[in-house]
Structures are given as C-alpha cells and as structure tokens.
C-alpha cells in the first residue's frame, strides 16, 4: 500500500497567518521586591503588552491554578513572522523582563486542510486565524505517527471525515489548527476555544475511539487557559487574588 498525493487546489489558497503560543512564568524572587517597585513593574509590563505592532493580534490568558510552573499565555497572530520578534523583545525589555521565564512556546501557520476540499470548517481551516474570544482556550502540540503518511490519500481523507463528523457534534468548540512542519518541533499546534471545560472534555473523549486517534504519536503537554485582561493575568501571577 503506497501513499498518494492529494489533489492540487484549483485556486491559490490565499494569505496565511503566523500563530504563536508563548507561555510564561514569573520568578518567585520578584515577589520579594518592595511593594512600590512591584507596582511600577506591573504598570510598565501592562503598557508593553497592550501596545503591540499594528499588525499583531494579542490575546492574554491565565494558567494560575491549571498548570504547575506556568502562569500565563500570550496568543499571538500576525501576517508577518517578524512581528513576533518585535513584540517579544518589547516584553523582555522592561524592568520586569528579567523576572520572566518562558518554559513553553509553539509556532505555526494557518492553512486550509487538505482533507476538507471546498468545505469551510467554520472558517477555521483557511489560512487566516481569527480568535473568537471564548472564555477558555485549550492548547497542545500534536504529532501523528509516520504510518499515517504512508496511507493512501483517499484513505486518510475518509478517516478524517469521520473525525470531523464527531467534532461537528460539539459546535460550541472552535478549533484553530497551526501547521508547524519544518517550522517548529511538532507537526501541528492545536487550540480549541470554548465556554465550557466540560464540553471540551466530552469532545476529546468522543474522539478517542475514532480511527484517526490510533495514529496519534504526541498530544502533550496540554494547557487549559482562562481568558483575562493583561492586568489581571499579571496580578494573578504576582499573587493578587
């Protein structure tokens, strides 16, 4: 059994966004600084977070209480790769920058799925990434077993159609697929937006018996993120309830 090549799209795919998930943590020694200095640091970092390059979309999340060793997430979307460098350098450049660590970071691009054809999967399978601003975001890197790519294209597409059909039973969960082949360590970086952790849990459980799941090689670490304004994200990391 040999793999076959998916059909070439009749029209160009169009623009593609870059997507970045940057997880950060605040060092404990920052909390031992004088209170007045800490207040100035927080205000400075908030200004830096809320003044990104004009073409960069920023969403902020807290992971305090959901992931050990991680305090927050910057979800970044831009048409230019360089926008990420400009923004991250700005974050590090202030007085609080020396107390920030970044234990995890993932990077990819948007594109249309080769298995969907002309079907528009909720607008999320094209190259443009549009956050829907739900309360929760669930993020994880994803790698398929190499055996998957040895299957004929027609077989892979049939398997993925079943996978999509299960996902469609949970319309309140929005998927954002970042393609990372050759750009980062994983093959994909997946993010799911929703207003109910229980609904996302049920979706993942429903997908477990699918044929596609048998070809999963990696889908950890998993991050459960709560959408918050930048100041609230910083305060929670700083120990302000």
Angle (deg, nearest 10), helices 197-207 and 153-167: 150
Give the pTM: 0.91
Q: Does domain 18-108 have CATH number 3.30.70.1030?
A: yes
- CATH value of 110-225 in 3.40.50.150, 3.20.20.100, 1.10.10.60, 3.30.70.1030: 3.30.70.1030
The confidence score (pLDDT) of residue 98 equals 93
**d(Cα 190, Cα 119) in Å, to the nearest integer?**
20
What value does the CA radius of gyration of the chain take, rounded to a whole number of Å? 19
Q: Residues in the chain with pLDDT < 70?
A: 1-13, 117-126
pLDDT in tens, 21-64: 999 999 999 989 998 889 999 999 999 999 999 999 999 999 99
Share of the chain above pLDDT 70, in %: 90
| Same fold? 18-108, 110-225 | yes
pLDDT in tens, 162-175: 999 999 999 999 99
Q: How many CB atoms lie within 10 A of CB 92?
A: 12
Q: Burial letters for 214-226: b for 16+ Cβ neighbours within 10 Å, e otherwise? A: ebeeebeeebbbb
The confidence score (pLDDT) of residue 217 equals 98
All structural domains of the chain with their residue ranges? 18-108, 110-225
């Amino acid at each position: 059994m040999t793999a076959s090549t998916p059909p070439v799209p009749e029209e160009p795919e169009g623009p593609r966004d870059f997507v970045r998930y940057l997880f950060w943590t605040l060092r404990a020694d920052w909390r031992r600084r004088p209170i007045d200095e800490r207040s100035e640091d927080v205000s400075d970092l908030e200004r830096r977070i809320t003044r990104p390059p004009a073409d960069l979309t920023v969403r902020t999340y807290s992971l305090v209480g959901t992931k050990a060793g991680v305090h927050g997430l910057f979800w970044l979307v831009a048409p230019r790769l360089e926008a990420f460098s400009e923004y991250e350098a700005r974050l590090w450049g202030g007085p609080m920058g020396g107390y920030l660590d970044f234990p995890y970071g993932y990077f990819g691009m948007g594109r249309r799925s080769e298995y969907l054809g002309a079907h528009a999967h909720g607008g999320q399978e094209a190259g443009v990434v549009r956050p829907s601003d739900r309360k929760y975001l669930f993020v994880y890197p994803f790698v398929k077993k190499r055996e998957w790519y040895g299957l004929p294209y027609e077989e892979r597409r049939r398997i993925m159609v079943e996978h999509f059909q299960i996902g469609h039973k949970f319309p309140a969960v929005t998927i954002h697929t970042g393609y990372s082949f050759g750009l980062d360590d994983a093959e994909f970086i997946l993010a799911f937006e929703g207003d109910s952790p229980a609904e996302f849990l049920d979706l993942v459980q429903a997908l477990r018996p699918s044929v596609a799941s048998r070809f999963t090689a990696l889908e950890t670490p998993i991050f459960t993120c709560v959408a918050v304004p930048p100041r609230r994200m910083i305060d929670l990391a700083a120990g302000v309830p």
